Structure 1
Amino acid sequence: MEKIQLHSVLPQVFAQREDLHSEIWKQDVTFEKGHLYLVEAESGSGKSTFCSYVLGYRHDYSGSVMFDNDVTANYKVSDWVEMRKRHISHLFQELRLFPELTAMENVEIKNKITGFKSREQILQWFDMLGIADKVDAKVGKMSFGQQQRVAMMRALCQPFDFILADEPISHLDDNNSRIMGEIMMKEAKEQGAGVIVTSIGKHMDLNYEHIFRL
């Protein structure tokens, strides 16, 4: 997949708003593979909604979301499964980890499906992110910042043309934010992938090519 396009997309909940000043909603926007984007938003402006539309979890909007000119409203469940398995990876804001499983087990849930990374590579990430001692710890007993790092590793255990990172560093210090950004960008570069980061405040310090105000 080479591009993600939003054509005049507007959430139904915003349909009656006349004070909407957005560079995403009701606009023609294209995200291209191999490029780096930041979507900045204020609380309540639809950041999580934007992510849900791109990932196909919600369809309560007017306009069109397209992948390489294919309208995603026409996708079947099997199409979305294939898209999320091979073309779009997503780091959820709410992480969606399994608290009863260990950090490694959470990462391996995806990696066992894709077979994309070796255990050695994953362990190297744990070490780089400063949580090598948490490999066998239950995620439910880890801090939110530690969980964010686990969720990022899981998101990278698959092939992707785009990665959508929804507020990836909200609970991380500057050093861990930098390391996580470096790991994510290295993976994206190796795959020639596009990166879309969202934020309502603190965001990864990266060389964004385009910044959209939602």
Structure 2
Amino acid sequence: MAQIELRGLVPEVFARENPTTVKDSGIWLSDKPVSFSRGCRQLIESASGQGKSSLISFIYGRRTDYRGMIAFDGTDIRGLDSSCWTAIRRRAIAWLPQEMMLFPELTARENVEIKRSLTGWRSPRWVEDAFERLGIADRIDSPVGHMSVGQQQRVAIIRTMAQPADFILLDEPVSHLDSQSNDCAASFIEEEASSTGAGIIATSVGNPLALDYTSITHL
């Protein structure tokens, strides 16, 4: 996948409200198409409640309660069937949701292994090296439910990167990390994305992933 394009996009809930609710948005109801190209480094900033998680969920196809159009390489995603979405989510788009969606009863390694085994993209050694690099090697065999939120975010980052992708969607990926851990996570993500030419679309409400962004948009 080379490009994601948004045309006249707005959440249904905002569309039913006064248009001034999104009048200053750089994405919602934009007068011109908003596009993200493979290889981009895009930061989407917003205050809480402005729809950043909704936007990421719309692009990933998890939610469809929006007006306007989202297109992958010119194809409206509303027309994609389940088999198409399965292929896209395995090979074209990686997603880290704000709520992380880890399995608390499983270990950190097991949470990552679920993704790795489905795609066959990374080796077990890559997983161990990733935990070491993000400073949580000592927790790799601990149940996720026994880890801090910041540690869980790093597990979720590793899981997200354990698949091939043209675009990586990161919804507030470092909201609970300090600056040093943020820098470490950003370096890891940047290196992995650059190795395949993947684009990164990240959101933030005030603690952005420490990347060198090609574009910053206020939602």
Q: TM-score range by the shorter chain?
A: over 0.9
Deviation at 1:17, TM superposition (A): 2.1
How far residue 103 of structure 1 moved from its aligned partner, in angstroms, is 0.4
Q: What is the CA distance between 1:73 and its match in structure 2?
A: 0.6
Note if 1:5 corresponds to 2:10: no
Counterpart CA distance in 2 for 1:186 and 1:67 is 25
What CA distance in whole angstroms lies between the structure 2 residues aligned with 1:118 and 1:172?
26
* Whole-angstrom distance in 2 between the partners of 1:136 and 1:48: 30
Q: What 5-or-longer segments of structure 2 have no aligned partner?
A: none
Q: 1-side partners of 2:122 and 2:63: how far apart? A: 30
Q: List 4+ stretches of structure 1 deviating above 4 A.
A: none
Q: Deviations over 1:14-47 (max 9, x none)?
A: 1132212100111220000011000001111111
Give the letter aligned to residue 210 of structure 1: S
Question: Which of these residues, 138, 145, 158, is aligned with residue 133 of structure 1?
Answer: 138
After TM superposition, the score normalised by the length of structure 2 is 0.96
The answer for unaligned runs of 5 or more in structure 1 is none
Structure 1: distance between partners of 2:205 and 2:180: 20
Match for residue 159 of structure 2 among 148, 154, 167: 154
Aligned mates of 1:207, 1:191 — CA distance in 2? 17
Task: Note the aligned Cα RMSD (angstroms).
Answer: 0.8
Equivalent in the alignment of 1:46: 51
Q: Tell me, in whole angstroms, the C-alpha distance in 2 between the residues paired with 1:201 and 1:129.
A: 22
Q: Does 1:175 align with 2:180?
A: yes
Question: 1:93-152 deviations in whole A, cap 9, x for unaligned?
Answer: 100000000000000001011111111111111111111110110000000000000001
CA distance in 2, matches of 1:188, 1:17: 39
3-state secondary structure, aligned to 1:62: strand
Separation in structure 1 between the aligned mates of residue 28 and residue 109 of structure 2, nearest angstrom: 38
- How many angstroms apart in 2 are the aligned matches of 1:206 and 1:112? 29
| Residues 63-102 of structure 1 deviation map (CA, whole Å, 9 limit, x = unaligned) | 1000000000101111111111100001111000000000
Q: Does 1:90 align with 2:95?
A: yes
Q: Which residue of 1 aligns with 2:19?
A: 18
Q: Secondary structure at the match of 1:66?
A: strand
Q: 8-17 vs 153-162, which deviates more?
A: 8-17
SS of 1:133's partner is: helix
Percent of aligned positions that are identical: 45
Which aligned pairs between 1:72-83 and structure 2 lie closer than 5 A?
Answer: 72-83=77-88
Query: What CA distance in whole angstroms lies between the structure 2 residues aligned with 1:155 and 1:18?
Result: 35
Mapped partners of 1:125, 1:134: distance in 2 = 12
Please report how far the alpha carbon of residue 198 of structure 1 lies from its aligned counterpart in structure 2 after TM superposition: 0.3
